[in-house]
Structure 1
Amino acid sequence: MEIKGISAERAEETYHWIASVQAEVAARGQVVLDDVERRNRETVTAEWKARAQERGDASIDALVDVLWNQMCLPDGLEFERADDPATGTVQMHCTYCPWHAVAAAAGAAGPGGVGYALFCATDPHMVAGFNEAAGPGARRIAFSRTTTLMQGGTHCDHRYAYADDGAADAGAAVGR
């Protein structure tokens, strides 16, 4: 399987993982997606709390650096960053994601597809982990997104802002 940005082996492994989750959803229904969400909430939050603690920095810039520069860029995601220095808000505009490409190949992309639960639904939990690492009294990061490639959009529009600037609740789940 050829997917831009990732090795054929990684694409195949991901494709089969997605297909197995799809088969489980077909057999057991919503309970599988509920289990995925519970796992995301527990493990992703803990993993990202540890990442922030290791860095000693739970700021928006640190989150964006770890997620987008250190993880997404090497995986071949194509994106642009726009900063608003007055508020500290960062907007990421992603136009290509190999995980969307694999999910689409597996028939798991689009509204209601398993791809969103496996990949995109982790995003608010990453922010929640950074917020837990920030400690009492620290500014909280808010995350919002109105569209995703995985759900049929032309792009993903991740927005990170400090919670006191009127953005979405810190770490809140966004669109499904």
Structure 2
Amino acid sequence: MEVISPQQFLLQHQKINPTKQKQASPLPKVLNPKVYSGGVRSKNTMEAMGAFEKPEYVPVKGVTRSVREKERLANIMAFGEDKPKVASRKVIVDMESPPPPPDRFEELQNEIEDRQRFLQEMVAIGKGDKYRPIIATEISQLVREMELIDKKRSGELQKLLELEEKQRNISSQGLS
């Protein structure tokens, strides 16, 4: 294997007229110091060139795809073609009315029953004397709240009965 110098390699691989090959001057082996600086730059030179300035980052704006577009592309990748959109009927669902709010009177009754069960359990394990006054106080407060609710309801019922009686009187007078 023959070793070829870089100049010979260039001459063999360049498409140059053979007459011009003899006129081409060889590349200099030593760099001219007047033309070529040693590669050391001062800080001022680098600052003037803008070497320390960071370019402002501008994110690449990507294309946002809709869900339909994503499905279409997925179908093309999976099946080789876009599946036609299936027309679907809108189903009208009757919304059930929300359940009525729990009756406070019934809640109070349940709480009283829970307190009585708790007191019975405490008596069974021998701690009834400790909890009896506490539970009795709580039950009396709940009973008081139940009385207020009952009074309010009976007042509302009385007003409704009076209103109904007035309407009967008006309708009976109109017929006479």
Which TM bucket (shorter chain)?
under 0.3
* TM-score when normalising by structure 2: 0.17
Larger Rg: 2
More strand by share: 1
Which structure has more relative contact order (CA 8 Å, sep 6+)? It is 1
More helix by share: 2
TM-score (norm 1): 0.17
